[in-house]
Every structure is written in C-alpha cells, then in structure tokens.
Amino acid sequence: VSVEEFRRMGYRMVDMICDYYSSLPQQRVRPDVQPGFLRDQVPPSPPEQPDSFEQVLEDVHSKLMPGVVHWQSPSFFAYFPSNASFPAALADMWSSALSMIGFSWAASPVSTELEMAMMDWLAELCGLPPSFRCNGGAGPGGGVIQGTTSEAVVVALLAARARALRGRDPADKLKLVAYASDQAHSCFRKACMVVGVDHVRSLPTREEDNWELRPEVLQAAISSDLAAGLLPCFFMATIGTTSSCAVDPVGPLAEVATSSGCWVHVDAAYAGSAALLPEQRAAHFRGLDRVDSYSFNPHKWLLTTFDCCALWVADSGPLKEALSLTPVFLRATGNALDYKDWQIPLGRRFRSLKLYFVLRMYGAEKLRSYLRHHIALAQVFAAAVASDPRFELAAPQRFGLVCFRLRCVPREANEALLEAVNGGGRLFLIHTELGGRFTLRLAVGSATTQLEHVEAAWEEISRAADSVVERFGQ
C-alpha cells in the first residue's frame, strides 16, 4: 500500500467511522448472533494474492459488523464503560504511524518522558499524594501506563513479593499471603495464580456494611496467619468494586495492613476517574497517602480509548527489584528511567500520546463536567427505581452505577426481567450477585449517553417489569 493509496483509504476509513458513530443510537446494542456465527464466513486460509481495501471493507460491513457489541452506544449500560474518543483515536493513529517500541529511554526518549509527564498530570488532576509523582524520574515514586488493571495488580504483587522476601530465605515464598475482600475483582486471584502466591484470602463483607471490608476482619485474618507462621505480603483494597461500587475504607485498612508489613495496593479500575472531582475525592478517595500503589483505567471512564491503565507506586525500588533484568544490548542508558523495569513485557506502545491528546483537547474542566453528567444521570435512574414500589436499590448508588432488583419476587423473575430487557436489543445491561441475590446493574458512562437514553432505559425496564410481575406475581 503506497502513501497515496493510504491517504485515500484513510479518508474513507474516517468517513466510515463518522457514519458509524452517527448510526449508533439506532443500532441494536447487542448483536443477535450465536457462537460460531463467523466460522463459515471467513475462508479457512489467508489469501495468496492481495484483496483490495474495498473488498475487505465490504466484508467488514457484511460479515463482521453483525457480530459487534456496540460498546459506544448511548444505551450501553453493561459491565463498566470503555470510553472511546476522537482525540484518543487520533493519537492512536499517530502512535501506530510512528510504531515505536518504548522499552527504554534510549529506545524512545519521547514516549518515556511524555509518559512521566502525563502520569504526573493525571496524579495532579486526581489529587494523588506527591509521593506518586515521577518528577522527571528524580524521585523514588512515579507512574507507569500498563495495559489493564490485571497487569497492574500482577506488577504490584511482584513488587510486594520482592520487598517481603528481602533478606529472607527464598523458601519463605511458600509462606506469602495475599488479602482482599470477597468483592475484589477476580484479577486479584489471577495475580496470585500468576505470581505463585498460594495463600489467598478473600475476606467476607456484609450487606449492612454496603459490601465494604471492615479493618477488624482484615486484622483478624492477618493475626491468624501470623500465628500460623505465615508471611502477610499483599493487601488489595478496592475503590468502586465491580459488583456494586463499594468503597473499602482505604486509610484504616492500610494502617492494619502496613503494620504487619503488607504492600497495599488500591484498585480503582473504574471509579478512579471520579477522583478528578473534588467532592468525590473527599467522599471516596481518602487514605491514598498510606498506600504503596494505586491504579485506575482512564480507558474505562476518561475517554482514553482502550488500553490505558495508570499505575502509580510510592517507591519504585521493589518494582525494579522484581522486574529489571538488563541484557547487555539494553545497557548504557545512564540514569534515565527505563519503563521495561516497571512492567512484564519488554515492548510497549506509545500510550501516553492518547492521554496527552485527551487531557489537552478536553481540558480538566470539561472532563469534570463529563463525569458529573454521568453521575447525575445515574442519580436520575436511581431516583426512578427508588420511587417505584415494585423495585428496590440493592446497594447505595455510587459513581455511575445503580444496582437494583424487583422486590419480593423469586430469583427467576429478576432473571426474566434482565432477559426481556436485553432481548429487545435497545439497551444492554448485565447482572451481578449481591449476598447470593440476583441483582441488575445499570452503569452509566458511555460518552454519548444523555438523559433521554437513561429515561428510555427506565421506561423499557419498567414496561418489562409489568409483564414479569404479571407472570411471577409480587
């Protein structure tokens, strides 16, 4: 493909993207396809001779698009959002064009230094403690962009293990223990599997505590493990759990965990964007000055198209101890920061560029009003639920998430409600289990979601509830 051909195709692709975005409100949010739908549509082998761009596009439209879940639809309320934005897309185009592999300062001075600067910008916007700042690589702390929270948690756990085993018998690694609440994301358990921490504690939470982990529960678990001769090593708190957006009391939990030598990581994968809002920060983000590492995904709710997970550490020493291994051909970068020592892979994309575009082209004020807009919409939806006697809120409404269910009905009734709502295709939400009870979850956060979409969602849910209640009684 020549430069001039790319110019023509590129314009065509931009047109296609614009047309797609214009059509999004009319699309079924979830496709009506079954597993294997693509099997017979894609030839068993790649072509020997090139196909034209037009032929490929034709197949994208006719064969691939029918299998797309429209995550950017204004009526996408499932999971947590995964915001795309045009500034981030433009930055990603440029990053693809440059295609640099920024594992070390020498391999890519600009991506290394822009990443440090953007992580400091984000830290400032979120009011994070000064210990997390990169300050041009001068301090012990700093930030790094990982692909996902799952990677960030593995990296944090590796650092925790390195620190815990300093000066110990290597065989003590069999004694390491990691803790989180039973509401923590499964990436906690997966990190333990990957790192090889065998003693994994999923600590109980209760509905009356709004699914937050109590410090005394953590204390009891740690004391019992210490008494058994084990080595507490890692504790992960969550700000904004996946099921209900519960917020663990980070400060008191960190006090318990650090006093027995645990590394404390805070996972705010989705909710972390809300730290841009001073009022949310004051309510939900206290205690971060006491933790070792903190991460959130700007790709979820901060318009920074997947993938972008911001991870900060107060002291990068243990991270580098765990992850730095410098073959001879990568030596001699002087005192510069080499991000290969802050992550698992060697290669890394120029992800800071999309943060740079997003933060500059929106500006902090617009980003704050964007987040407040979604929170306000979630409040509207929660108020509608609360005012309908057939329904109950299953957890306090936090950030953009509302958890709710039909009250006094068998479990199958709420399952049928979700099936009816999603079956129509006009919106998409998922469920969770809270205290073993089937609970619907509506997460507001798509970039184009407006009041009309939330109102339409409530109307649809309310209408579906009419027939479910008629069928199951209440």
Q: How far is the CB of 269 from ligand PLP (least distance, A)?
A: 3
Name the residue nearer to ligand PLP (CB basis): 30 or 300: 300
Q: What is the CA 90 to chain-centroid distance, rounded?
A: 22
Residues binding ligand PLP: what is the number (CB under 6 A)?
A: 15
List binders of ligand PLP among 68-127 (CB under 6 A). 80
Which residues lie below 8 Å from residue 376, measured CB to CB, with a gap of 6+?
A: none
Q: How far is the CB of 156 from ligand PLP (least distance, A)?
A: 12
Name the residue nearer to ligand PLP (CB basis): 108 or 293: 293
Q: Enter the DSSP assignment of 247.
A: B
293 in contact with ligand PLP (CB under 6 A): no
Q: How far is the CB of 128 from ligand PLP (least distance, A)?
A: 18
Of residues 157, 236, 250, 309, which one binds ligand PLP by CB under 6 A? 309
* C-alpha to C-alpha distance for 231 and 176, rounded to whole angstroms: 5
Q: Enter the DSSP assignment of 79.
A: S
Of residues 149, 280, 304, 316, which one binds ligand PLP by CB under 6 A? 149
Name the residue nearer to ligand PLP (CB basis): 112 or 150: 150
* C-alpha to C-alpha distance for 466 and 473, rounded to whole angstroms: 10
Which tokens hold the place of 128? 């994070």
Q: How far is the CB of 330 from ligand PLP (least distance, A)?
A: 28
* C-alpha to C-alpha distance for 393 and 403, rounded to whole angstroms: 6
* C-alpha to C-alpha distance for 21 and 85, rounded to whole angstroms: 11
| Selection from 327, 257, 245 nearest residue 267 by Cα | 245
Q: Are 336 and 111 in contact (CB under 8 A)?
A: no
Write the interaction track for ligand PLP spanning residues 238-257; mark x where CB under 6 A is met and - where it is not: x-xxx---------------
Name the residue nearer to ligand PLP (CB basis): 254 or 309: 309
Name the residue nearer to ligand PLP (CB basis): 269 or 406: 269
* C-alpha to C-alpha distance for 302 and 295, rounded to whole angstroms: 14
The window from 60-68, 145-153, 168-176, 387-395 that contacts ligand PLP (CB under 6 A) reads 145-153
Which residues lie below 8 Å from residue 384, measured CB to CB, with a gap of 6+?
A: 458, 462
Residue type present at position 33: V
How far is residue 146 from each of residues 19, 111, 155, 345, measured CA to CA in Å?
A: 32, 14, 9, 10
Q: How far is the CB of 304 from ligand PLP (least distance, A)?
A: 12
Which residues lie below 8 Å from residue 140, measured CB to CB, with a gap of 6+?
A: 131, 314, 315, 316, 317
Name the residue nearer to ligand PLP (CB basis): 143 or 240: 240
Which tokens hold the place of 395? 């957890």
Write the interaction track for ligand PLP spanning residues 27-66; mark x where CB under 6 A is met and - where it is not: ----------------------------------------
Which tokens hold the place of 229? 């001769």
Of residues 73, 95, 112, 150, which one binds ligand PLP by CB under 6 A? 150
The window from 84-92, 122-130, 233-241, 434-442 that contacts ligand PLP (CB under 6 A) reads 233-241
Of residues 270, 285, 312, 428, which one binds ligand PLP by CB under 6 A? 270
Of residues 158, 233, 253, 269, which one binds ligand PLP by CB under 6 A? 269
* C-alpha to C-alpha distance for 71 and 79, rounded to whole angstroms: 10
Phi/psi at 231 (5° precision): -125, 95
Which tokens hold the place of 33? 């396809």
Judging by DSSP bridges, how do beta strands 437-443 and 430-434 pair with one another? antiparallel
Name the residue nearer to ligand PLP (CB basis): 150 or 304: 150
Name the residue nearer to ligand PLP (CB basis): 266 or 382: 266
Of residues 83, 85, 293, 297, which one binds ligand PLP by CB under 6 A? 297
Name the residue nearer to ligand PLP (CB basis): 104 or 149: 149
How many separate helices (H) and strands (E) can be counted in the chain?
14, 11
* C-alpha to C-alpha distance for 220 and 211, rounded to whole angstroms: 18
Q: Enter the DSSP assignment of 181.
A: E
Task: Tell me the H-state helices in 212-277.
Answer: 215-227, 250-259
Write the interaction track for ligand PLP spanning residues 181-220; mark x where CB under 6 A is met and - where it is not: ----x-x---------------------------------
* C-alpha to C-alpha distance for 339 and 242, rounded to whole angstroms: 29
The window from 97-105, 265-273, 376-384, 439-447 that contacts ligand PLP (CB under 6 A) reads 265-273
Which tokens hold the place of 179? 């803790």
The window from 33-41, 142-150, 283-291, 378-386 that contacts ligand PLP (CB under 6 A) reads 142-150
Q: How far is the CB of 300 from ligand PLP (least distance, A)?
A: 7
Contact residues for ligand PLP, defined by CB under 6 A: 80, 148-150, 185, 187, 238, 240-242, 267, 269-270, 297, 309
